């Protein structure tokens, strides 16, 4: 059982849901990344998604793209990120990483090195289900969660195939398009997630566009967890020009409002 499996088993047993913040590794530097993970864990977040900066992101909106650009401008390396992650043991961590990086690094090597640093799983947004068998086999053998994405436009038969090859949890993309904060979520989102929940035993976590307590309250009944990215990364950008303790406190207060709506 991976750390992700154990987390959701414990949450389900207690009737609670997971808040999963997304943060970009190395923006503005890895020391801040480590401090932010510690702050988020202290506030009660359950799992953290660490974005590995990539020059050609697949579905990330302008806020996360800009954070990747800032990190890459400082010549951040995968080895440095994994080494820093090794010191972030406050809660389970998964990496969000492009398949190009994994393939270039070597699938077995990536999983082995990430796992050695305490990483519990990986999200590979551009890994097609038709090409996922080798990666899925490696991750199952190593008890390392391979979290895959289902979108609103994914045909239902294909969504079930994705679920069969996923471990840890299913990442349900709430909207068609790129990441980013939104004022409204699609009206059919709750029904679509409910349909999938009836057909897969995996926990389902919803991401893209979630940024307010109202969003959290709407989705809490059908989700096992909620992923919040752009709203956090946008506030992270201030750490390059403002006192870091101030930025950490503001982020901590923000996630506390989401947690209060998620597990009232």
- pLDDT at residue 192 in the model: 86
Contact by Cβ (8 Å): 88, 34: yes
Could you give the angle at the alpha carbon of 227 between the alpha carbons of 100 and 24, nearest 5°?
A: 50
197 burial type by CB count under 10 A (0-12 exposed, 13-18 middle, 19+ buried): middle
Question: For the chain, which residues score pLDDT lower than 70?
Answer: 57-61, 175-187
- pLDDT at residue 152 in the model: 85
- pLDDT at residue 58 in the model: 64
Active site residue 80: no
pLDDT, tens digit (0-9, with 9 covering 90-100), for 101-146: 999 999 999 999 999 999 999 999 999 999 999 999 999 999 999 9
Residue 150: CB partners within 8 Å, gap ≥ 6?
159, 162, 163, 170, 171, 172, 173, 196
Helix (H, G, I), strand (E, B) or coil at 176: coil
Given the residues 27, 39, 49, 224, select the one marked as catalytic: 49
Give, to the nearest 10 degrees, the angle between helix 156-165 and helix 189-197: 50
CA gap 43, 62 in Å, rounded: 27
Q: Which residue has the tokens 């403002």?
A: 242
HSE at residue 214, side-chain half, CA atoms within 13 A, is 6
CA gap 180, 158 in Å, rounded: 25
- pLDDT at residue 179 in the model: 45
Given the residues 5, 27, 60, 224, select the one marked as catalytic: 60
- pLDDT at residue 201 in the model: 94
- pLDDT at residue 186 in the model: 55
- pLDDT at residue 183 in the model: 43
């Amino acid at each position: 059982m991976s750390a992700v499996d154990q987390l959701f088993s414990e949450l389900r047993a207690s009737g609670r849901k997971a808040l999963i913040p997304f943060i970009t590794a190395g923006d503005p530097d890895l020391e801040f990344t480590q401090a932010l993970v510690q702050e988020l864990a202290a506030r009660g977040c359950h799992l953290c998604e660490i974005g590995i900066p990539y020059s050609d992101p697949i579905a990330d909106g302008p806020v996360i793209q800009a954070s990747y650009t800032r990190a890459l401008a400082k010549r951040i390396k995968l080895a440095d990120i994994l080494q820093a992650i090794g010191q972030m043991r406050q809660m389970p961590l998964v990496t969000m990483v492009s398949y190009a990086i994994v393939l270039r690094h070597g699938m077995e090597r990536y999983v082995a090195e990430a796992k050695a640093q305490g990483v519990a799983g990986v999200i590979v947004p551009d890994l097609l289900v038709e090409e996922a068998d080798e990666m899925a086999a490696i991750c199952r053998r190593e008890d390392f969660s391979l979290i895959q994405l289902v979108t609103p436009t994914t045909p239902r038969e294909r969504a079930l195939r994705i679920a069969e090859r996923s471990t840890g949890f299913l990442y349900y993309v709430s909207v068609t398009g790129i990441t980013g904060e939104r004022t409204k979520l699609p009206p059919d989102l709750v029904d679509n997630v409910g349909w999938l929940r009836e057909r897969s035993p995996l926990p389902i976590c919803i991401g893209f566009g979630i940024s307010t307590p109202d969003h959290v309250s709407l989705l809490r009944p059908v989700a096992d967890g909620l992923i919040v990215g752009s709203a956090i990364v946008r506030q992270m950008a201030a750490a390059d020009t403002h006192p870091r303790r101030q930025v950490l406190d503001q982020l901590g207060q923000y996630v506390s409002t989401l947690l209060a709506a998620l597990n009232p």
